[in-house]
Structure 1
């Protein structure tokens, strides 16, 4: 890796490991300036947000009248989706079906957290299990492709499966825990490419996969951004953007009310994502996603820059146990440890090295921002 020390934002902790970052004359990065100039002025969790949330709930309830449930919520067991399930039932009076996709990498803590929320709230849980042989082959293909975003198969399967379920059962509203409070700073595109780009998935699988890509749920940007919302009337909503949502308070409530167990880091409910974000990205590419996560908490007043820098001074993985973690991932994917370690040192590639639909995504983002459907956030 490059030994030159990166330039760090004077306001948050984003730095030049994001090659597209831009600093103003005060040393403040464009991630922060985008938040202060474009997101914060248009983001309201007070009276205006409450009115918007009330309209959202009325629409959901009307569409779900007479049905067993009025919306579905994708739940991973992480803090955002867990709190959303609680808020939807207890605060908003909705009747959600909890939807979980098992891609083969659930941690035991995640499984326990899902069960505790579902049982504690008296909700129904639907679990879709992804064909493990296909998932395993596709994940190996991404390792061998050399790209950073090896978590794409898992994330793509989560959303594609939920979209397919909503289409089949004519569910009008999908609620997601995505939110501005903890995710207003987005991962740079070179760190995490769009997980929904099925063209790239197919190309990487064609070059490095070993079995037919059957039984794997595939979506596409045009299908879920155009066809589903504007033709089928299926909307993806983010209720947490319209209510006060403080991560530490949400975590404490979930722990006290349901015995929910926290994770060492955001997204660590998946054993694969834990390996990917704590070891693969920082050790192979120099990308530490904690910088993005902490930057979001800094600009929203939930963390100080000093606290973030202190945490970033230590690796996000445990040096004493990472060998076991590598062995676990390799064995589960039916790779040798040597093969997995070889992937760590192979030539680094990016999404540009494979077929992709980046131009469609960029065009769509510009259109959504022009119509006020997207508050910002750099990708």
Structure 2
């Protein structure tokens, strides 16, 4: 992964040559812009047409839930996207969701605050699934030991696995997901954030570096939730924010006003582990700043000026005053010494290709689903 190409930054976004596989045209515009314009914007309708489609979907959801306690299921992390989706689908569309939260052991105090504020004000019950900490801890340590960049797979896998578990347990056919084009139209590069449901990869890493039997961990393969549940059990995943005008700053202002919800310094920072992983580990170990992806999504969807994004990038992605405290917290939480964590940071870099994987199968599946089911990796569709 060591690059010898000359540094270049996109003239329309803030994506640069640290993004694996990026290319530029003669005007200096990167290929991610063309992908958005050709494959996303043309199919993205947030005006009356999108609203009408969402209303039809809501009608189907309500019909499927008649006579049941819940008509859909929603995961709530406390982040902006899931929080606003919950607010909108209850206040504007009068849905009756089963709201669940997965506690993987890394909730920030701010996330807990935001979740409680929404649940209390909306008068909802919250189902919380607490992941077995010994298994979560060992899984995360195995990822550190593997040397790969995609350390957040244990959390992501837990969230996905529990979501489908709850849907099947309660006979719910509609899962509402906060993923959205508005803030996630630029996909995270697979060389950095690999597919989290590649069970061949996960099993190989655990076989090499795991020490605890995974007896209760909610694993979920892509074949289970993309094929079995979708086509054989009729479970559908809907992303409501893709059908409406979703402007993140406006949404956060609504939640602050209505619920006392408080914003995070950066997307996905409701988890203390993700804050450390994206804010410090990726930039300092793999020279990849996730802010470039998130800010470029906002640029492409008209929510942020490129000069504003560049100004944000002028500062470090982490707080220099607290990073040592965060470093120590991660080590203590994982039950290792600070020196051991430093060792993982300095060890030779590895990537998904160093372990067994099913990338080719995933790419074929992604191609098929994109063309025949209208889905797309990331927040889009």
Partner of 1:30: 31
Partner of 2:185: 184
Partner of 1:326: 327
Shift of 1:20: 0.4
Shift of 1:102: 0.3
Partner of 2:210: 209
Tell me, in whole angstroms, the C-alpha distance in 2 between the residues paired with 1:171 and 1:377. Answer: 23
Give the 3 Å change call, closer, same or farther, for CA 4–78 of structure 1 in structure 2. Answer: same
8 Å CA contact 2:179, 2:378 repeated in 1: no
Shift of 1:117: 0.5
Tell me, in whole angstroms, the C-alpha distance in 2 between the residues paired with 1:121 and 1:284. Answer: 42
Shift of 1:6: 2.5
Q: Could you tell which deviates more after superposition, 4-13 or 29-38?
A: 4-13
Please tell me whether residue 242 in structure 1 is matched to residue 243 in structure 2.
yes
SS in 1 for 2:175: strand
Partner of 1:359: 360
Once the two structures are superposed, what CA deviation does each residue of 1:29-74 show, in whole Å capped at 9, x if it has no partner? Answer: 1111111122111100111101110111011001111111111101
Would you say how many aligned residue pairs link Structure 1 and Structure 2? 379
8 Å CA contact 1:72, 1:173 repeated in 2: yes
Tell me, in whole angstroms, the C-alpha distance in 2 between the residues paired with 1:35 and 1:347. Answer: 34
Tell me, in whole angstroms, the C-alpha distance in 2 between the residues paired with 1:50 and 1:24. Answer: 36
8 Å CA contact 1:267, 1:274 repeated in 2: yes
Q: Which aligned pairs between 1:187-202 and structure 2 lie closer than 5 A?
A: 187-202=188-203
SS in 2 for 1:27: coil
Q: Which aligned pairs between 1:121-160 and structure 2 lie closer than 5 A?
A: 121-160=122-161
Please tell me whether residue 301 in structure 1 is matched to residue 264 in structure 2.
no
Tell me, in whole angstroms, the C-alpha distance in 2 between the residues paired with 1:323 and 1:5. Answer: 33
RMSD: 1.6
Tell me, in whole angstroms, the C-alpha distance in 2 between the residues paired with 1:376 and 1:327. Answer: 34
Tell me, in whole angstroms, the C-alpha distance in 1 between the residues paired with 2:41 and 2:79. Answer: 25
Please tell me whether residue 225 in structure 1 is matched to residue 199 in structure 2.
no
Tell me, in whole angstroms, the C-alpha distance in 1 between the residues paired with 2:215 and 2:7. Answer: 43
Runs of 4+ aligned structure 1 residues displaced above 2 Å come to 1-6, 374-379
Please tell me whether residue 96 in structure 1 is matched to residue 97 in structure 2.
yes
Once the two structures are superposed, what CA deviation does each residue of 1:282-317 show, in whole Å capped at 9, x if it has no partner? Answer: 000001110000000001110011111111111111
Partner of 1:19: 20
Partner of 2:272: 271
Shift of 1:365: 1.2
SS in 2 for 1:72: strand
How high is the TM-score relative to the length of structure 1?
0.97
Tell me, in whole angstroms, the C-alpha distance in 2 between the residues paired with 1:378 and 1:105. Answer: 23
8 Å CA contact 2:90, 2:96 repeated in 1: yes
Once the two structures are superposed, what CA deviation does each residue of 1:335-376 show, in whole Å capped at 9, x if it has no partner? Answer: 110000111110100011111121121011111222261367
Partner of 2:166: 165
Tell me, in whole angstroms, the C-alpha distance in 1 between the residues paired with 2:122 and 2:344. Answer: 44
Tell me, in whole angstroms, the C-alpha distance in 1 between the residues paired with 2:164 and 2:89. Answer: 19
Tell me, in whole angstroms, the C-alpha distance in 2 between the residues paired with 1:60 and 1:372. Answer: 19
8 Å CA contact 1:34, 1:377 repeated in 2: no
Partner of 1:80: 81
Tell me, in whole angstroms, the C-alpha distance in 1 between the residues paired with 2:199 and 2:84. Answer: 30
Partner of 1:342: 343
Once the two structures are superposed, what CA deviation does each residue of 1:197-243 show, in whole Å capped at 9, x if it has no partner? Answer: 12211111110011112111110011110000110111111010001
Give the 3 Å change call, closer, same or farther, for CA 261–328 of structure 1 in structure 2. Answer: same
Partner of 1:251: 252
Give the 3 Å change call, closer, same or farther, for CA 296–131 of structure 1 in structure 2. Answer: same
8 Å CA contact 1:31, 1:378 repeated in 2: no
Tell me, in whole angstroms, the C-alpha distance in 2 between the residues paired with 1:126 and 1:366. Answer: 35
Tell me, in whole angstroms, the C-alpha distance in 1 between the residues paired with 2:92 and 2:200. Answer: 40
How high is the TM-score relative to the length of structure 2?
0.97
8 Å CA contact 1:34, 1:378 repeated in 2: no
Q: Which aligned pairs between 1:35-74 and structure 2 lie closer than 5 A?
A: 35-74=36-75
Give the 3 Å change call, closer, same or farther, for CA 306–3 of structure 1 in structure 2. Answer: farther
SS in 2 for 1:303: coil
